[in-house]
Amino acid sequence: MRIQVSRQLLDRQLVDVEGRLVGKVDDVEFGADDDGVPYVRTLLVGPGALGDRVGGRLGRLLVLAAERFVTDRPLTAVRIPFELVERVDSAVRLRARADELPPSPVEEWLRRNLIERIPGAGRAGG
C-alpha cells in the first residue's frame, strides 16, 4: 500500500474492525527493508507521540499534562503495528478490535481512578 504519510495518516481517526473509534494517528515510525526502502512500521498514538511530533515547549507541555494521569513515566506512545491496518480512507481502518490493541496509559488511569468510582459505572452498557 502506497500512502502519503502527512496527508493520509497523520491526525486521522483510527477505527477498529467493529467501527469503534480507537484514537488518532499522532505519529508514525519508519523501518527500512533489506534494500533500504523505507516503510511505515508502526502507528504511534497518544499524547506522548503527539508531544514528540509537535516538539518544543508546546510538545513538552502536552506530555507533562498527560503524565499527570499516569503512574509510569516517561509517558510512551501506544504502538500499533502497521500490519493491523486494513485500509486508509477518511479514517485508518484496522483489522483488530479495540480490546486487542495495546492499552492507552492515560485511558487506563482515567478508567481506574475516575470512571470506576462513578456509582453504577460497573453496570454501564456493554
pLDDT in tens, 80-105: 999 999 999 999 999 999 989 887 76
Question: What's the pLDDT score for residue 56?
Answer: 85
Kindly list the domain boundaries of the chain, sorted by start residue. Answer: 5-46+76-117
Q: How sure is the predictor about 7, in pLDDT bands with cuts at 50, 70 and 90? A: confident
Domain 5-46+76-117 has CATH 2.60.40.1220: no
Q: Which of 97, 75, 76 is nearest to 14 (CA)?
A: 97
Bond prior to 47 in cis (omega within 30° of 0):
no
pLDDT at residue 57 is higher than 60: yes
C-alpha 2/C-alpha 40 separation (Å) is 10
Q: Which of 106, 100, 110, 94 is nearest to 13 (CA)?
A: 94
Phi-psi region of 91 (alpha: psi -120 to 50; beta: other; left: phi over 0): beta
The mean pLDDT of the chain is 82
Which region among 18-27, 44-53, 106-115 has the lowest average model confidence (pLDDT)?
106-115
**99 or 54, greater pLDDT:** 99
Q: What is the mean pLDDT of residues 5-21?
A: 89
β-pair partners for 78: 45
- Parallel, antiparallel or unpaired: strands 85-88 and 78-81: unpaired
For residues 14 and 102, the answer to whether their CB atoms sit within 8 Å is: no
